[in-house]
Structure 1
């Protein structure tokens, strides 16, 4: 199994274009740039699946040779897209690949509804390409091309702002990918380290965790991380130590998170807990 980290920042990227916070200024000075979070996963190195589609998707696809079509063709190796949520930074990039011959979209029923009603992304795409919707259900494995199996675990009912009028549902999930006896878990929207999540990561080789915020009060007392559906990275460190086995990587870093920077003092705490921070372009081969 191969996993390519296309981007590792939360919505807006890091540094964020309209932010002059300490971390963004330091990132500019150090020429650090992280694009918005997303993955490409393959069970055999030939058939690839995107996990989320950020507004940076075109740039990310061009930067990774394994995702390009062979010379003289339009036969891209991308077989589908899986959404962990309906957030704009996870879905807007799909508009940029409307030239695809067809698009297989995997998501929970709630996410499909949001992308059909509140934000009619799938209706827009249907005017350009053939769209096939596949509903993923909590705990039910789905077989994908290339010997890849994916299983979703619902994490929370956090809704995007644009979809706040919809009834609450399974709006955020994590995915576990299995192939040839190896496992990878992707959880960029982890609201709580629940018993269900512990079951999901049991026996996994690599777990990509929610690194949106380093501390609960990073955005100020009026906007705690938990109110936005994210478990702060610092609060995950003792949980990581209590659950050894997988290699833990933080991704989906907000522009305010000091872990964006390669020389952040906070990295020492992450390393001491047995974890690390993912980088744009990181390729894992399991």
Structure 2
């Protein structure tokens, strides 16, 4: 990705990783998809664990979630390493959607910063990362963390140095991570969706890599968006059970499957957005195979599948 001059422009989103936790192929999985992509016997490409980067000038970026694959993702995206100084990064800040392992452990890889890492997350997420999984305490012995509690009351914010992008948290109904002391006692802020808005044009992107239940507030936010970048984890609710990979349904794991009368496809069909894109694709999902019937069904509904390196401009 070429570096750009500092000037007002459209919000830019780079998909750093498009897979669910474990990536694709998952290290210990020999399902049809994982075995096939390893051996080149299916029409599919590898993917790292889900994360996006947001910029409005192509120079400074806000990282949305920090996956365990962050170092691979930085190497694959030169704009995140602009080399203006002997030690440098294009990552100006990190915003977390939740405290899940596959969204936060990459923070540890940023420990060599020369200044405290600006970190935006809900009070619930910051508490989990200070105590239950004490990543912020560990980072205190390295670069340090400049924590910013993220409001979930409908107030938008800007994150310096991005001057032309606003960020608005939309609370989701879902569980905290398994390690959280309130795993079975959900709190507002455990998980959020995120509305990104270009302050000049007013164009909006709604991002929710984990979306298990669609409340009235969430559906209203989705209807306002020009681009939807949302949960594509599983094709069917019983997918993981059928393949012998888990005893949990997609909904039990906090994800709305694509198929079925109440699935993601039916939801997206109701939305006026000009682009509808699925992200956070689990290794079991047949939509990873570009020539699968399920992939063709998505295309028939005007739904895209995110891939690592995908660019989205608003």
Q: Same fold (TM over 0.5)?
A: yes
Q: Contact 2:51–2:66 at 8 Å: present in 1 too? A: yes
Matched, 1:106 2:120: yes
User: Aligned-pair distance for 1:26?
Assistant: 1.9
User: Aligned-pair distance for 1:129?
Assistant: 0.8
SS in 1 for 2:93: strand
Q: Return the match for 1:118 from 132, 140, 143.
A: 132
2:103 is matched with 90
Aligned-residue Cα RMSD (Å) equals 1.5
User: Aligned-pair distance for 1:165?
Assistant: 4.5
Q: Contact 2:197–2:205 at 8 Å: present in 1 too? A: yes
1:213 is matched with 234
Query: Which structure shows the bigger proportion of residues in strand conformation?
Result: 1
1:231 is matched with 256
Q: What TM-score do you get using the length of structure 2 for normalisation?
A: 0.87
| Structure 1 residue runs without a partner (length 5+) | none
Matched, 1:16 2:26: yes
Matched, 1:155 2:172: yes
2:46 is matched with 33
User: Aligned-pair distance for 1:48?
Assistant: 0.6
| Structure 2 residue runs without a partner (length 5+) | 1-10
2:158 is matched with 143
Taking the TM superposition and a 5 Å limit, the aligned residue runs for 1:192-211 are 192-211=213-232
Q: Deviation digits for residues 49-86 of structure 1, max 9, x if unmatched?
A: 00001110011011111111325432322111011110
SS in 2 for 1:33: coil
User: Whole-Å Cα distance in 2 between the matches of residues 54 and 74 of structure 1?
Assistant: 22
SS in 1 for 2:252: helix
Say how many residue pairs are matched: 286
Q: Contact 1:240–1:274 at 8 Å: present in 2 too? A: no
User: Whole-Å Cα distance in 2 between the matches of residues 7 and 157 of structure 1?
Assistant: 22
User: Whole-Å Cα distance in 1 between the matches of residues 55 and 249 of structure 2?
Assistant: 36
User: Whole-Å Cα distance in 2 between the matches of residues 194 and 236 of structure 1?
Assistant: 13
Q: Deviation digits for residues 98-152 of structure 1, max 9, x if unmatched?
A: 1112211111111001001100000000110131111112222111232211000
User: Aligned-pair distance for 1:164?
Assistant: 4.1
Q: Contact 1:11–1:89 at 8 Å: present in 2 too? A: yes
SS in 1 for 2:73: helix
2:193 is matched with 174
User: Whole-Å Cα distance in 2 between the matches of residues 120 and 49 of structure 1?
Assistant: 22
User: Whole-Å Cα distance in 1 between the matches of residues 36 and 258 of structure 2?
Assistant: 20
Q: What TM-score do you get using the length of structure 1 for normalisation?
A: 0.95
Compare 258-267 and 52-61 and name the one that shifted more.
258-267
1:57 is matched with 70
Q: Contact 1:14–1:260 at 8 Å: present in 2 too? A: no
Q: Return the match for 2:205 from 181, 184, 188.
A: 184
SS in 1 for 2:230: strand
SS in 1 for 2:148: strand
